[in-house]
Amino acid sequence: MKAYDARRATQADRCVLGMVVTILGIQVWLALIDASWWLLIPMIVALRWQHLAEHTHVHRPLVHKPLGRRIVDFGLVMSTAVPVDIYYTHHVATHHRYNNSADDWTSPFAYASASFPDQPVPLLRYVASFPYRSWIFSIRDLRATSGRGDLCGSVLVLLAGSATIFMASPTGFLKFFLVPWLALYFLAPVANWLHHYNCLYEDWQSSANSKLSLLNRSIGLNIGYHAAHHVYPDAHWSELPLLHAGLSASDRT
């Protein structure tokens, strides 16, 4: 296996950035021409990749200069309806910081009916409640701190962009923005629940499952190396296979 290469990581991020721009462009185009309903299905799949790109971006920005980073923030929120500041607060500042402990309100175990490590909240309840919790609790936490950025700016971009596209094509906006947003809001918690359900709870695999199918590896920005990602949350996504292999080897020695 090749060693981690910072230059290769930068090139990978550029590819991800190109994907973000391309998917958003197609999303806007499909809405404006009011394309056929069947194209909604690939758009929902594409927004899963936008969500994975946003996951990468909140851990290690795809663009490091402040202005460029905010432009990426605005593009992602227009595509996914998940402001980067909200995502950063509930995922990085809460989930990775507290890692399924009592203070991790994002966890499937953070419910009165649940208990760590063997009894998560039922999947349907988790999925139904997570969109509300992610906004309400993140806003609460942002207000208690200086925050990561400009949540108001992201929300204004989302509202202004939505209004513009809706006025140009109401049905197109419904099909290629509103419906995919709702699908993403309720499908993303499913992935999170599965990443933390029935973990091995031993050593480095104590807080997340690894799912190493092709879709969860390089095609899915290595999201399947989830246990290694929890051990090294600041590592670049392209480095996770190497880190996973190192952690697995340490188990065998």
131-171: per-residue pLDDT in tens? 999 999 999 999 887 655 689 999 999 999 999 999 999 99
DSSP sequence for 20-68: HHHHHHHHHHHHHTT--GGGHHHHHHHHHHHHHHHHHHHHS-SS-SHHH
Indicate the pLDDT class of residue 1, thresholds 50, 70 and 90: very low
Mean pLDDT of the chain: 89
- CA 245 to CA 145: how far, in whole Å? 37
Find the mean pLDDT for residues 68-95.
95
Query: pLDDT by residue (tens digit) across 92-139?
Result: 999 999 988 889 999 998 998 888 777 889 999 999 999 999 999 999
**Mean pLDDT over residues 225-252, rounded?**
86
State the Cα torsion 143-73-189-121 to the nearest 10°: -20
Show the DSSP H helices in the chain as ranges: 6-32, 40-59, 66-80, 84-87, 97-98, 123-144, 151-168, 170-173, 179-196, 226-231, 240-252
Compute φ and ψ for 119, nearest 5 degrees: -135, 85
User: CA-CA distance, 253 to 50, in Å (whole number)?
Assistant: 39
Q: Which tens digits make up the pLDDT trace of 199-219?
A: 765 666 666 777 787 777 777
Residue 251 neighbours by CB distance under 10 Å: 10
Q: How many Cβ atoms sit within 10 Å of the Cβ of residue 9?
A: 16
Span 3-29, mean pLDDT? 90
Contact 19, 47 (CB under 8 A): no
Q: What is the pLDDT of residue 149?
A: 62
Q: How many residues does the chain have?
A: 253
pLDDT over 70 (residue 252) = no
Phi-psi region of 121 (alpha: psi -120 to 50; beta: other; left: phi over 0): beta
Structure confidence at residue 185 (pLDDT): 95
- C-alpha 173/C-alpha 165 separation (Å) is 6
Q: How far apart are CA 238 and CA 10, in angstroms?
A: 10
Residue 243: helix, strand or coil by DSSP? Answer: helix
**What is the pLDDT, as a whole number, of residue 20?**
97
Cβ atoms of residues 71 and 84 within 8 Å: no
The model's confidence at residue 7, banded by pLDDT at 50, 70 and 90, is confident
State residue 104's pLDDT score: 92
pLDDT tens-digit series, residues 35-68:
999 999 999 999 999 999 999 999 999 998 999 9
